[in-house]
């Protein structure tokens, strides 16, 4: 028994999504900022770990950065 799957693109305006997240989930902007930085740091750690087996993942940019603007 096989079933066909359909892939649908996910579309969202980033600005609207960030507005929703900051105003609905995090009432305090400092908490949101701390969570954002923490998640970015976790993503960098995951990339470093994955790069142990696959060094090509970030060979072009060995220094990872988290930038907020």
Domain extents in the chain = 14-57
- pLDDT tens for residues 24-39? 776 777 787 888 889 9
pLDDT at 46 over 90: yes
* Span between the terminal Cα atoms of the chain, in Å: 50
Tokens of 28: 């305090």
CA distance 31 to 12: 23
**H helices within the chain, ranges in order?**
14-20, 29-53
CA distance 7 to 56: 28
Give the pTM: 0.57
């Amino acid at each position: 028994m096989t079933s066909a799957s359909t892939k649908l693109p996910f579309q969202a305006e980033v600005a609207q999504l960030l507005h929703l997240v900051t105003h609905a989930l995090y009432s305090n902007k400092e908490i949101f900022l701390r969570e954002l930085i923490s998640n970015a740091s976790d993503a960098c750690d995951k990339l470093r770990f994955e790069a142990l087996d696959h060094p090509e993942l970030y060979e072009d940019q060995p220094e990872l950065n988290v930038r907020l603007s």
